[in-house]
Amino acid sequence: MQRIGLTGGIAAGKSVAARRLAARGAVVVDHDVLAREAVLPGSAGLDAVVEAFGPEVLTADGVLDRPALGRVVFSDPAARARLDAIVHPVVRRLAAEREAAAAAADPSAVVVHDIPLLVETGQADRFHLVVVVHAPAVLRVERLVRLRGMERSDAEARVAAQARDEARLEVADVVLDGTGQDADLERQVDDLWERLAQERDAETGAGLT
């Protein structure tokens, strides 16, 4: 089994890369999806979030109000740390369960962990390969404003709350250029997938798998 950590700053193109990897046959474990599972209604995770931040982070239906919570944590590093301490352990447990299931189904699977905060949570050394989708922070802010309709101040706060570009690049084994069109990034993913396939074939031939 090949274990890959995929990361990139918000609006860099990481989701495009993850979808392409899944289309090529990778098992993608989306840690953002797991983070949502961790705070579903009725979960211990949601109870802990409400205890930490108050009932105003819930909608009238008792669901986590993500925009309301985001306004609190993305402008307050201490609040963000409190949230991370609640959610991250649950996400890691769920991710380990997904990976174990993939390995049981196919021992030669390529498992890609899609982790927005891979660098921030110190997980770079957990993977055989770390892939970073890179686009400069200024471009990512512009994308958030233009494509997602965010206020510029909110977009800048979201970008600033994540690791600096230099920190992600420092841990990267592979850097994919996310500054162009989706098709450009998809071609880079295809090239990476072919290299990974060649490595698997070479290891198999050498009796290493």
Average pLDDT over residues 103-129: 94
pLDDT at 185 over 90: yes
The rounded mean pLDDT for the chain is 94
pLDDT at 205 over 70: no
The closest alpha carbon to 75, from 164, 159, 167, 163, belongs to 159
Q: Is 111 helix (H, G, I), strand (E, B) or coil?
A: strand
CATH of the domain at 9: 3.40.50.300
Cβ atoms of residues 114 and 14 within 8 Å: yes
Average pLDDT over residues 4-16: 97
Instruction: Give 144-149's long-range contacts (Cβ < 8 A, gap of 24+).
Output: 144/10, 144/11, 147/11, 148/11
Indicate the residue among 108, 123, 155 that finishes a domain.
108
The predicted pLDDT at position 167 comes to 96
Cβ atoms of residues 98 and 3 within 8 Å: no
Rounded to whole angstroms, how far apart are CA atoms 94 and 180?
33
Q: Based on the domain organization, do 91 and 114 belong to the same domain?
A: no
Q: Based on the domain organization, do 131 and 207 belong to the same domain?
A: yes
Q: Based on the domain organization, do 53 and 150 belong to the same domain?
A: no
In the chain, % of residues over pLDDT 70: 97
Model confidence at 204, pLDDT cuts 50, 70, 90, reads low
The closest alpha carbon to 42, from 63, 60, 69, belongs to 63
Structure tokens at 202: 């070479």
Model confidence at 201, pLDDT cuts 50, 70, 90, reads confident
pLDDT at 74 over 90: no
The predicted pLDDT at position 193 comes to 97
Model confidence at 71, pLDDT cuts 50, 70, 90, reads confident
Host domain of residue 99: 32-108
Helices (H), 106-151: 137-148
Indicate the residue among 92, 108, 124 that finishes a domain.
108
The predicted pLDDT at position 134 comes to 98
Q: Based on the domain organization, do 17 and 68 belong to the same domain?
A: no
Indicate the residue among 108, 129, 161 that finishes a domain.
108
Q: Based on the domain organization, do 98 and 121 belong to the same domain?
A: no
pLDDT in tens, 141-169: 999 999 999 999 989 988 998 999 999 99
Q: Based on the domain organization, do 104 and 114 belong to the same domain?
A: no
Model confidence at 77, pLDDT cuts 50, 70, 90, reads confident
**Cα-Cα-Cα-Cα dihedral of 17, 18, 19, 23, to 10°?**
100
Q: Based on the domain organization, do 130 and 188 belong to the same domain?
A: yes
Q: How many CB atoms lie within 10 A of CB 125?
A: 8
Average pLDDT over residues 76-87: 93
Model confidence at 59, pLDDT cuts 50, 70, 90, reads very high
Model confidence at 200, pLDDT cuts 50, 70, 90, reads confident
Q: Based on the domain organization, do 17 and 41 belong to the same domain?
A: no
Q: Based on the domain organization, do 88 and 132 belong to the same domain?
A: no
Structure tokens at 135: 């686009």
Number of domains in the chain: 2
Q: Based on the domain organization, do 4 and 78 belong to the same domain?
A: no
The predicted pLDDT at position 209 comes to 53
pLDDT at 135 over 70: yes
Rg of the chain over CA atoms, in angstroms?
18
Q: Based on the domain organization, do 19 and 72 belong to the same domain?
A: no
Q: Based on the domain organization, do 192 and 136 belong to the same domain?
A: yes
